[in-house]
Structures are given as C-alpha cells and as structure tokens.
Amino acid sequence: MATHGGAGASTLAAVFGGFDAGRDWPRPVQGEPSSVLLVARTHATGLRAALGFLDVFRRGEAPPGLDLDAVVLVADAPGRLPRPLGRHVRVLESLIDVYRVPWVPAWRTGDPDGGPPRGCEQLARLTGVFAPSGARGER
C-alpha cells in the first residue's frame, strides 16, 4: 500500500508480486489481503507519510482485520541518504521491520523486468518471490 503518490507500490507489485492497493486500505472482508506492506520513498515527504501511517496503526484506526507486516522504503535517488533522512529511517526501524529497495535506473523508464534488485532477498522471501543470485543492483 502506497503511503503517498509516487511511492513505488505499483512497481514493487510488478517486481515482487502481490496486490497493489494503491493509496486505499485493502478490504480483507472483501477478499483483499489481510496484511500490508507500507511503501514510501526515502525523501522527507515519503518518510513523514510512512510515520503517519504507522501512527494510524498504533492508534488502532486501521481497518479491522488488517495487519501491518513492514515498511518498504524505495530509494528516491541514487547514492547515500543525507543524514537528516537517515535519522528518520532509523526512527522507522526502531518501530517496525523496514526493507530498503535501492535505486534502480530501469524502473525510472518503466522497465520493471529483471527481478528484484540485489540486496532485496529478504523482501523477496517475504513476498514469496525468489531473488536469483544475479539480481539487479544499483547502477
């Protein structure tokens, strides 16, 4: 589930499989998944949005029967995060499991083929996708 527009949830669903709920809460009572991965970009807006959605779960305001598995952070640019953004990531990591997805240039041009990127083996296992040893990496 995307925590903001442009989070990358559609691309992740194409690469890792699963149900792309967009920015709408899944409805487990209507056959949709009963657990979610929150997806956000690693820019300030994305990290704040992820924290906001975590707060919704903390307050018990998420739809009944819906569980939160983890947060998936998709790199918003190649390279390292600036220190202030890294601090926000550490706050998220102190609250819930966080999976990081590196910058993949091909995704920017609409090419989600090639499987999960290198370093995303744990996320691939969580979603049921096998990540081959030659998986795509940050270029």
CB 51 within 8 A of CB 91: yes
Asked whether residue 53 is domain-assigned, the answer is yes
Under a CB-based contact definition with an 8 Å cutoff, are residues 10 and 24 in contact? no
Domain total of the chain: 1
Does 136 reside within a domain? no
- Provide the domain limits for residue 68: 9-127
pLDDT of residue 6: 94
In which band, very low, low, confident or very high, does the pLDDT at 136 lie, cut at 50, 70 and 90? Answer: very low
Tens digits of per-residue pLDDT, 72-112?
999 999 999 999 999 999 999 999 999 999 999 999 888 88
63 domain-assigned:
yes
Residue 59, domain member (yes or no): yes
Q: Is 82 among the domain residues? A: yes
pLDDT at 132 over 70: no
Instruction: Identify whether 4 is part of a domain.
Output: no
Contact criterion met (CB below 8 Å) for 101 and 74: yes
Phi, psi of 15 (to 5 degrees): -85, -45
pLDDT value, residue 29: 65
**Which tens digits make up the pLDDT trace of 9-51?**
999 999 998 888 888 887 766 667 778 899 999 999 999 999 9
Q: Could you tell me if residue 72 is inside a domain? A: yes
For residue 135, tell me if it sits in a domain. no
